[in-house]
Amino acid sequence: MSTAVLPPSTNVPAAPVVATGGGPRPSVAQTGVWIGIATISMSFAALTSALVVRQSSAPDWQHFPLPPLLYLNTLVLLLSSVTLEQSRRREAIATLNATLVLGLLFVLGQVLAWRQLGAQHLLLATGPRSAFFYLFTALHALHVLGGLGGLLYVQRRLAGAALAPATFKAAAVYWHFMAVLWLYLLTLLTIRG
């Protein structure tokens, strides 16, 4: 058995090299967040098309008014975006903490809205519209919780004065996207009601 190797290259040059470091560290965090936003958008686009197809597939779309609490929750989420932006511009902890509290309030508000619907016997399996309502709001809330995790990380780094502005920007972009996504979902759930 021979192990044929091509003629050994006697003249393989070493890579010309420079020392690592120097130059700004690229903001991979921001790239990552934008890629994440693209992915999440695609998932919700798929679910939107599922909603449209499902609504037209059978005459069992049940109309019910959305819990008014949702509009209050919307305000809370939008406010959290404002406080986050203030925090980012001034690198202020207090407004960041306010964002965290408002974010948590939003999720709690969503849970309360589910309980209100549940009290009306509108559950996940009651009909297609309630199914999509719970699905959209739950998936969005999960993503918001993920965002809260990211903001907690930002808060710890900021407190330790070890936060790169680009990382803060990345977290903020994600958080604002959560607000935009929620506005889209609320609109969809309203006009497709």
Partner 1 sequence: MTHGVATGHARPQSFLRRHVFSVDHKVIGRQYLDLALVAVVTGMVLSWIMRFHLGWPETPVPGLGKLAPTGAAGGVITPEFYLALMTMHGTIMVFFVLTTAPFAGFGNFFLPIHVGAEDMAFPRINMTSFWVTLLALLVLLSAFFVGDGPPLSGWTAYAPLSAVGKDAGPGQGVGQTLWAVSIAIFCIAQLLGSLNFIATTLDLRTRGMSLARLPFATWAWFITSVIGLVAFAVLMPACILLILDRVAGTSFFIPAGLVISDRLQPHAGGSPLLWQHLFWFFGHPEVYIAILPGFGIVSQILPVFARKPLLGPRVFITCLIAIAFLSYTVWGHHMFLSGMNPLSATLFSVPTLVITIPATIITLLWIGTLYGGRLRFTSASLFALGFVSVFVSGGISGFFLAQPSTDIYLHGTYFVVAHFHFVMGVAAMFGIFAGTYFWFPKMFGRMMNETLGKWHFWLTFIGVYCVFMPMHYLGLAGNVRRYSAFTDDYLQPLIPLHRFITVAALFTGAVQLIFLFNLIRSRVRGPKAPDNPWEATTLEWSTSSPPPHDNFGGRQPVVSHGPNEYGGAGPRDYVMQADPQ
* Distance separating alpha carbons of residues 123 and 134, to the nearest angstrom: 8
Question: Of 40 and 181, which CB lies nearer to partner 1 in the complex structure?
Answer: 40
Provide the 3-class DSSP secondary structure of residue 146.
helix
Our finding on whether 125 is near partner 1 (CB under 8 A) is: yes
Minimal distance, residue 16 CB to partner 1, in Å: 5
Listed residue (193, 168, 191, 181) closest to 45, CA to CA: 181
Our finding on whether 14 is near partner 1 (CB under 8 A) is: yes
Question: Of 40 and 172, which CB lies nearer to partner 1 in the complex structure?
Answer: 40
Minimal distance, residue 165 CB to partner 1, in Å: 15
Binding site for partner 1 (CB under 8 A): 1-6, 8-9, 11-28, 31-32, 35-36, 38-40, 42-44, 46-47, 49-50, 53-54, 57-60, 124-125, 128, 131, 135, 139
